[in-house]
Structure 1
Amino acid sequence: MRSMSALASISAEVFKGVLPCGKWDCECAFRHQKGCCCAGLDLHELEVKMFRKMMTLVSTVSQLGDSIYDVIGSKRVAFTVFLGANVKCIGPFPRNTTIPYDVIILNDGDGYKPALGVFTASCSGLYSFTFTVYSKVAKPSERMFYKVQLVKNGVVVASTVENNKQDSEDSATQVVLLVLQRGDQVYVELKTGRQLCGNIQGLNIFSGHLVYPIPT
């Protein structure tokens, strides 16, 4: 009885058709393990190409990460300030007056200037601002009368108002998203003739942060 290798050799010799791939070795399938030959060269070339593509992809992702850090990571802008315990009442004033938040909790980027009570954008971008207003009256029958507003470059963009004799104390919060250009200024002001009193430390707050920069 002829061996399997001899039969395979005869089968290969009598085959007169066209091989499915010019690089394939038909005898390889009978003389070696199936996964080691036939399409071995093609698979090796494919493996090399895939490896090169993976390395290119890794390099591209790394460069993208560096670019994102350059755009966002290096721009750290955030602040939180409030009125301290030594402030008892603010106002009334004959004109709109910037509220002088005197206690600084956070001021990354040094955008908030306590001497002015004003935040100045160091880069163009989308910013989030929050201000909380608290006030109380000395006696239950007294009138609570205030209007506090968030201002961008002299234009009011949000406000909170109270004018009644029913509440002995009250608070309100506003959150606003603003697109700012570099150098734009944002601040909180007390409206003409209004008054804030009983400013318990930490209850009159102004804060903001850069959400993401906008290329100019």
Structure 2
Amino acid sequence: MRVIACTLFILGLLWDNGRAENTISSLRLAAVAWEGELPCRKWDCECAFKRQRGCCCAAPEIQEVEDQIFKRVMDLSKEVSQLSESILEVIGRIRVAFTASMSRRTNCFGPFNWNSPIPYDVITLNHGNGYNPALGIFTAPSSGLYSFSFTVYSRLGKEGERMYYKVQLMNNGEVVASTWEDNREDSEDSSFQTVLLPLQQGDQVYVELMEGRHICGIAEGLNIFSGSLIYSTLE
């Protein structure tokens, strides 16, 4: 509207002088020659008609664009901050922990002709439902750093036997830690291991008994497998 107002005003001047032409060049020449005030209201006719279009004339518009960009950047920064807080809040609510033990057995567990996952079937804690007692396997529900521990207790099945077991912690089929006993001096023994593991969602961790070995005299609460999420990591 401001451009139209200026244009109409200058056209009126041109018609009065009998020099009406239909080009912007003529309008500019007429504006430059005009010695009175150009009634363009808020629009800068001096810049538009009497000077070259440059930094001086464009400064107000550039400033306005800068203000708009700054406001948009601040809005985006606020949105990113709110999103980060939401992500941290969600991560903070992820709770994963389990503890399971082998139920009491009158017979030994093993020996087998293959490595066998130990069935820790008595569950006392299973936050996040990561542990499956039917398989004896923990499946990570989210990526992060986890802590795992297991204890092994065994006694001789009968007099004259030897203490003979080897138990190992597995991560996706790879050995992470192990403990074993092979002697005829002890009638009973126990051992313990704990490790920290970085896991991806879906990774599986379990404890297995090595082939040819056995655990005997199992009392409830003595053979335990447990784990917990220390902190989550973004994928």
TM range (shorter): 0.5 to 0.7
Aligned-pair distance for 1:71?
1.5
| Distance (Å, rounded) in 2 between the aligned partners of 1:86 and 1:171 | 16
Match of 2:203 in 1: 184
Partner of residue 122, structure 1? 141
CA 1:192–1:128: 2 relative to 1, 3 Å:
same
| Structure 2: runs of 5 or more not aligned | 1-80
1:140-161 Cα distance to aligned partner (Å, 9 max, x none): 5320100000000000000001
Paired with 1:93 and 1:138, the residues of 2 have a C-alpha distance of 16
Shift of 1:138: 3.4
Structure 1: give runs of 5+ residues left out of the alignment.
1-60
- Kindly provide the CA deviation profile for residues 112-163 of structure 1, in whole angstroms up to 9, marking residues without a partner as x: 0111110000100000000000000034532010000000000000000100
2:222 alignment partner in structure 1 = 203
TM, length-normalised to structure 2? 0.62
Partner of 2:131: 112
**What amino acid sits opposite 1:154 in the alignment?**
G
SS at match of 2:157: coil
What is the distance in 1 between the residues matched to 2:203 and 2:182? 31
Provide the aligned length of Structure 1 versus Structure 2. 155
Aligned to 1:164, which of 183, 186, 189?
183
Establish whether residue 85 from structure 1 lines up as the match of residue 128 from structure 2: no
Query: Partner amino acid for 1:108?
Result: H
Other-structure match for 1:69: 89
Q: Which of the two has greater strand per residue? A: 1
Amino acid of the residue matched to residue 161 of structure 1? W
Q: Which amino acid aligns with 1:70?
A: V
Contact persistence 1:140–1:167 (CA under 8 A)? no
Confirm or deny: 8 A CA contact 1:129 1:208 kept in the other structure: yes
More helix by share: 2
Runs of 4+ in 1 over 2 A off after TM superposition: 61-69, 138-141
Of all paired residues, the percent bearing the same amino acid is 57
Q: Does 1:214 align with 2:233?
A: yes
- Deviation of 1:89 (Å): 1.3
Aligned counterpart, 2:120? 101
Question: For 2:157 and 2:107, how far apart are their aligned partners in 1?
Answer: 11
Aligned-pair CA distance for 1:85: 1.6
Displacement of 1:208 in angstroms is: 0.1
1:54-98 deviation per Cα after TM superposition (whole angstroms, max 9, x unaligned): xxxxxxx999876533222x2110000001124631000000000
